[in-house]
Structure 1
Amino acid sequence: MDELELFQRLGVALAIGLLFGLERGRHQRDQREGGRIAGLRTFALAGLLGGVNGWLASLTAPVVLALAFLGLSVLLGVSYWLRLKEDDDVGLTTEIAFLLAFSLGAASVLGNMPAAAAVAVIAAVMLSMKKPLHRWVSRIKRLELEAVLKLGLLSVVILPLLPNQGYGPGAALNPYQIWWAVVLVAGLSFFGYAAIRLGGASLGPLVTGLFGGLASSTSTTLALSRLVRLQTDLVQHAAAGIVIAGSVTFLRILVLVAVFQPSLVAPLAIPMGVMAGFGFAGAAVLWFPTRHAEEGQGPLEELDNPLELSAALAFGALLSLILLAVQTLRDWMGSTGVYAGAALSGVTDVDALTISVSNLVADDLARTTGATAIFIAAAVNTVVKAGISFGVGGSALGLRVGPVYAAVIMAGAVSLWVLGWGI
């Protein structure tokens, strides 16, 4: 490298150290002078030291950098030991950050500068989020943590071992693809579930509806409908939350087809987008009169952890059943059979049907047929959620949710027809 590039890289190394030092200095600002392990200047020098040693290693041998890192580790180890003799409750965060600043300083000289800078920013953000992270961790239930670890084991360890080939009628059952679908849907659902759990009930029905739509729009509808039974003054809030959850479902469908069959995105983007848009607009109309009212505080106890092993396996079994049913109905009745299977599936689930149809389109099912089938499943599922609002939440809730959902389905059907993918 030439001199200009070297100075640029050393400048990045120094900036990385300054960034770490700024965060650590602020974190330790209440400690007495001399009582801090490292502040702004020391971290800046550590980053620059890493850059200089990286430069020397490029001129001589990599062992130079290794010895410098080892020497710095020993120095920090001795410092930590001395502090531990005075206080038995001492963390290692600052020491780790110091070594990371040194390492990233070296990486900025020897490797990719933007990557080193990006890692430094991410690390600084994590260092600054001590209290929020600790608060979130304290709210995680043991069963939730175990569920995440179990699914991680099954997906990371087992998934690569599954055969990636079809079995059964029409080779509809592919173990690898089925389990990959389980991992994706469960992960997407868990994101919404975790947002509700970590955010708490104080977020209110609106945000609950948003994240509940990722977890399970049907479960969210049921939970908010039951909430209205307990707190009738929340009917307007709950109606808006239910419609938001249902609208998120249409965007979720687009995410799934983008992963499993990108060619379906084009025929579905406008219908699903229109349905989501009408839904969010309807939710805004429902929410507007209540925008100054206090939001409800009822938690959604009915939402099950989607990363429980039983929930993941149940979805895998449902997906396998729908794959077989749609394939069988298609062989028996052609496109009409696919539509019938979509309508039946929509009563309970949209994700499984979306993935099933995506697999059929990957073989030889026409894109227009696949798009129409997915629309039918989404429409039927929307009608079911409107029925839950009426049956569980009462007429006051149902008469607010029902007309919005009717407009959503009508708008989706018209957009599908206008685009030439007739129903």
Structure 2
Amino acid sequence: MDDIELFRRMALAIAIGAAIGIERHWRERDEARGQRTAGLRTFTLIGMLGGAAGLIERDLAGQAAPTGLVLATFFLVLAGAVTLYQYRETQDEQSHSVTTVVAAMLTFALGALAMLGSMAVASAGGVALLTILSSREFLHRAMRRLRWAELRSAVILLALTFIVLPVVPADPIGPFGGISPARTLTLVIVLASISYGGYIAVRLLGSARGELVAGAVGGIVSSTAVTITNARRSATEAPDKASGEALAAGAVSAGAISFLRTALLVGTLASSLVPLLVAPLLAGAAVMIGYAAFLARRGAASHPEQRHKNPFELDSVVRMALLLVGVAFLAQAASQFFGDAGLLAISALSGLADVDAATVTVTGMMDRLAPQVAAQAIAVALFSNVAAKAVYAAVLGSAPFRLHMVLASLMAAAATGAVLSLATG
């Protein structure tokens, strides 16, 4: 390692310390001189100390592997000194927090890592530490607003991802090519994470921002459910024109999210379909977003806080897994017996309730499907879902709601079909 490399590594160690020091100093910027335990200068020096300790450790080891004795000695002395000063500050201010102590220890460790190990990992660690420290108010506010049921759902998500998924068999099981349990569980985790993220956003930000925003957030969970709910409300709770338009704006915005969600799944699960499907999906989403914004301006109405069901309860997970497995099995069987026509028929039927199941099933069959056929199957599911929601609106909704939902659906389908024909033609 030449001198230039050593200078780069030491500079990174100092930069990490300075970044953390700025955040710590800013939080205590109103304290009198000498009243803060550690600020910009102290944390910059701590990062430099970590780099220097790593350099000493490296030079003493020579060609042999470092023993870590120098690092351990410096680390213990630093931890003891910072703890002592933090204790004295705690006694004076009657506060109880060890954040500064832990931040100082991590800053030293990252400085040493910058000198001895991966600079990329050290940089990422510094950014992560800075993000956590600067997010104190947001994290505290989140803990006050979230309920135990929501935290429990997050624990279930983590358990499925890091405990269950690694031990689930990856090889397909069953006839017609079989279903991979690991892939099915992975898709369940992906879909549930999207829904859970939208749900948490509502809990943290609130839903009282109009039917437009409420519908868009609800569309993260299920645009079909939003359409049916708003249609019923338009007929029973809000039969007047303005309220019907506001509710239609929410349902249309949910449909736009469905287009965007499908585009996200396609881009994540089957990159070969991106040139064929993403542009048409974005075109349909743009039409629905524009129409929803137009309706929201005409029929703006306040939206009360609502109780949203946690989308990651165990029953939701089980139903999602069964739906994915069922659609995948039927699609593979229909494709084997009836060819491409059978797959398109199954996609159309599954799209009556949900687009995601058809999307993840088709993307899972890319090893045996031509990209054109896969794109057609996903498009059929999407068009089927758009038509189904228009029918639900026509049957259940008030006249204003029915009119705007049908018009928005036709316009979005036309835009999607036009761009799709250009992309696949």
Please confirm whether the aligned pair reaches a TM-score higher than 0.5, indicating the same fold: yes
Question: Retained in 2: the 8 A contact 1:346–1:380?
Answer: yes
Aligned to 1:360: 365
Aligned to 1:48: 48
Amino acid at match of 1:36: R
Question: Retained in 2: the 8 A contact 1:243–1:282?
Answer: yes
Counterpart among 124, 130, 142 of residue 130 in structure 2: 124
Separation (CA, whole Å) in 1 of partners of 2:167 and 2:112: 38
Question: Retained in 1: the 8 A contact 2:275–2:423?
Answer: no
Question: Retained in 2: the 8 A contact 1:196–1:212?
Answer: no
Amino acid at match of 1:168: G
Counterpart among 373, 384, 387 of residue 383 in structure 1: 387
Aligned to 2:199: 193
Cα distance, 1:82 vs structure 2: 4.7
Q: Which moved more, 1:315-324 or 1:216-225?
A: 216-225
Aligned to 2:276: 267
Separation (CA, whole Å) in 2 of partners of 1:18 and 1:98: 11
Aligned to 1:398: 402
Question: Retained in 1: the 8 A contact 2:36–2:89?
Answer: no
Ranges in structure 1 where 5+ consecutive residues have no aligned partner: none
Aligned to 1:242: 251
Q: Does the alignment pair 1:161 with 2:170?
A: no
Amino acid at match of 1:90: H
Cα distance, 1:181 vs structure 2: 1.1
Q: Which moved more, 1:207-216 or 1:225-234?
A: 225-234
1:24-423 to 2 correspondences below 5 Å:
24-61=24-61, 62-82=68-88, 89-225=95-231, 228=234, 230=237, 233-289=242-298, 296-301=302-307, 303-362=308-367, 364-420=368-424
Question: Retained in 2: the 8 A contact 1:191–1:215?
Answer: no
Aligned to 1:23: 23
Separation (CA, whole Å) in 1 of partners of 2:253 and 2:81: 56
Separation (CA, whole Å) in 2 of partners of 1:345 and 1:288: 34
Q: Per-residue CA shift, 1:273-305, capped at 9, x if unaligned?
A: 222222223223333446xx5x5232343x432
Question: Retained in 2: the 8 A contact 1:250–1:273?
Answer: yes
Question: Retained in 2: the 8 A contact 1:49–1:105?
Answer: yes
TM-score by length of 1: 0.89
Amino acid at match of 1:378: L
Aligned to 1:14: 14
Separation (CA, whole Å) in 1 of partners of 2:77 and 2:106: 14
**Same amino acid, percent of matched pairs:** 34
Q: Per-residue CA shift, 1:360-402, capped at 9, x if unaligned?
A: 332x233222211211111111122233444444221221222
User: Secondary structure at the residue paired with 1:201?
Assistant: coil
| Matched length | 416
Separation (CA, whole Å) in 2 of partners of 1:355 and 1:185: 10
Question: Retained in 2: the 8 A contact 1:209–1:220?
Answer: yes
Summarize the Cα distance change of 1:10–1:249 in structure 2 as closer, same or farther, 3 Å threshold. same
Question: Retained in 2: the 8 A contact 1:205–1:224?
Answer: no
Cα distance, 1:227 vs structure 2: 5.7
Question: Retained in 1: the 8 A contact 2:266–2:278?
Answer: no
Q: Per-residue CA shift, 1:126-167, capped at 9, x if unaligned?
A: 222211211112111111111121232123111121221222
Aligned to 2:64: none
Separation (CA, whole Å) in 1 of partners of 2:335 and 2:15: 62
Indicate the RMSD between aligned Cα atoms, in angstroms: 2.5
Cα distance, 1:81 vs structure 2: 4.6
Q: Per-residue CA shift, 1:5-60, capped at 9, x if unaligned?
A: 43343333223222222211221234444332212222122111112112111111
Q: Which moved more, 1:342-351 or 1:81-90?
A: 81-90
Q: Per-residue CA shift, 1:79-105, capped at 9, x if unaligned?
A: 445555566641111111111222222
Separation (CA, whole Å) in 2 of partners of 1:140 and 1:211: 17
Summarize the Cα distance change of 1:92–1:401 in structure 2 as closer, same or farther, 3 Å threshold. same
User: Secondary structure at the residue paired with 2:222?
Assistant: helix
